[in-house]
Structure 1
Amino acid sequence: MASTGTTRGRNEDRAKVAGGQDNEVKYEAGKTGARKADVKSVGNSRKKIEDKLKE
């Protein structure tokens, strides 16, 4: 039976982009209007990616 824990792990996971997961990188690239290589070069923090690439 699964325990009913907190959503902490999920929230921490959603705050990052998995660079090895093409679908996540592609989604962020499309959302910011950048290339996939640009998303990977910024790092894995969604906040940093959005701040840096929306400029």
Structure 2
Amino acid sequence: MTDDKRNVGSPDRDRINLGEDYEVQYWSKELRITPEKLRSVVEAVGPSVKAVREHLGA
């Protein structure tokens, strides 16, 4: 399921959605890791940005 671009509510920056290419690109750049590493970390600790950052030591 893709995001509805017409729904302009506040963004959910607490979770990483690997189903959206633009989110994978954004978080890979933000966390300075490859998309493959991002996917691996999210699979290990879940989609919580906090958990991903803690896992990476960021």
Q: Classify the TM-score, shorter chain.
A: 0.5 to 0.7
**Greater Rg by CA:** 1
Q: CA contact under 8 A between 1:34 and 1:53: conserved in structure 2?
A: no
Pairwise mapping of residues 9-28 of structure 1 onto structure 2 (< 5 A)? 13-28=12-27
Calculate the TM-score normalised by the size of structure 2. 0.60
Structure having the larger proportion of residues in helix: 1
Where do 5+ consecutive residues of structure 1 fail to align? 1-9
% same residue: 27
Deviating 4+ runs (over 3 angstroms): none
Where do 5+ consecutive residues of structure 2 fail to align? 1-9
The CA RMSD measured in Å over matched residues stands at 2.0
